[in-house]
Amino acid sequence: MLHVYITRPIPDNGIAMLKSAGYRISLQKERRDLSTKELITTLATKKPDALLSFLTNRIDSRVLSAAPSLKIISNFAVGYDNIDVATAHEKGIVISNTPCIEVVNSVAEHTFALMLALSRRIVEADTFTRSKKYKGWDPDLLVGHDVYGKTLGIVGLGAIGRGVAQRANKGFGMKILYTDMKRDEGFEKEYGATFMPLEKLLAEADIISLHVPLLPSTHHLITGKTLKLMKKTALLVNTARGPVVDEKAILKALYAKKIGGFALDVFECEPHIDCVPADRYELAKLSAVIMTPHIASATHGAREGMAREAAQNIIDFFGGKQPKNLIK
């Protein structure tokens, strides 16, 4: 009987699928991440055929060497930068992820929620009201910016970037600019979008939304140099990966009022808000910043969809089919 090890609890639908397919399941039942040492010991002891892992599990060469029977890693995430992909492939281990439509919709919605909240100063207004500072209507009170009809720059035209563009253009009449590895003329025709280099996009967009994977080429894609290209009123939203943005550069730009605001769901040194402890949570002190704790995909539908895809990837692989979400 094939053995699947799951590093922390997942929704019941995924477990039910694996059990129905006849697999033996071992589940780490605590809602915490195993340390590298714990993961190595567990895999060496349990010798699973499949590993259902999470983005917070660091699966490096040491972990992979401890699991000689491992044939597939099904990552419960869209990203897979937690896995040493090259070493896994050298060992003949297949890797898959879970970019299901439910996740696409959830992250796109959260991105747009951050965009609206930042533009309309929703968090500031909530804090202001809860602090009993509201004394009556004032035409100058917490004045924000309209989103309708503004120019949105999409950096990375994957499924989530497309989802944000669809909501922005069809729902809010926004002009769409985008940059990616290649042009997509069908996308341009559907949304009246314009393809352009990153530098030009940053200079023209009112709001910039990041949707690139974390790769060596995208690490610190947004730096002090690129921030200088943006309008002083421009807003930046990051629901991709934290290290795509140089947060020290963002702090400097915000203090100098070189950009209008920053909303983020991911952090450069996650789960820490600041990479340097001496910074004393500077990002958290700024009213022009909105932060959420990596919850863009945190809906019941998205989590169940991810569980379904993670289980199906394993079932397909051992059933002789190529997993739908194969990482090459």
Q: What count of other Cβ atoms lies within 10 Å of the Cβ of residue 86?
A: 9
Q: Provide the 8-state DSSP code for 98.
A: -
The domain 3-97+300-327 having CATH identifier 3.40.50.720: the answer here is: yes
> 306-324: string of b/e by CB count within 10 Å (b at 16+)?
bbbbbbbbbbbbbeeeebe
Active-site residue, from 109, 124, 190, 270 = 270
Structure confidence at residue 279 (pLDDT):
64
Active-site residue, from 109, 190, 294, 304 = 294
Contact 37, 56 (CB under 8 A): no
Contact 155, 198 (CB under 8 A): yes
The three-state secondary structure class of 291 is strand
What are the residue boundaries of the structural domains of the chain, listed by start? 3-97+300-327, 102-291
Specify the CATH number of the domain 102-291.
3.40.50.720
Measure the CA–CA gap between 80 and 97, rounded to whole angstroms: 7
Phi and psi at 119, nearest 5°, equal -65, -40
Record the tokens describing residue 295, joined without a space.
């919850």
Q: Which residues contact 98 (CB under 8 A, 6 or more apart)?
A: 74, 75, 76, 77, 78, 305, 306, 309, 310, 313, 325
> Active-site residue 32, yes or no?
no
Same fold, 3-97+300-327 and 102-291: yes
Active-site residue, from 110, 241, 303, 308 = 241
Structure confidence at residue 283 (pLDDT):
87
* pLDDT, tens digit, 9 for 90 and up, residues 241-265: 999 999 999 999 999 999 999 999 9
> Active-site residue 272, yes or no?
no
Cis peptide before 271 (omega within 30 of 0): yes
Taking 50 as the pLDDT cut, the residues of the chain under it are none
Measure the CA–CA gap between 265 and 115, rounded to whole angstroms: 12
> Active-site residue 268, yes or no?
no
Contact 59, 66 (CB under 8 A): no
Contact 242, 222 (CB under 8 A): no
Measure the CA–CA gap between 219 and 180, rounded to whole angstroms: 15
Measure the CA–CA gap between 324 and 302, rounded to whole angstroms: 17
Residues in the chain: 328
* pLDDT, tens digit, 9 for 90 and up, residues 31-46: 898 999 999 999 999 9
Measure the CA–CA gap between 46 and 3, rounded to whole angstroms: 9
Whole-prediction pTM? 0.93
Contact 197, 142 (CB under 8 A): no
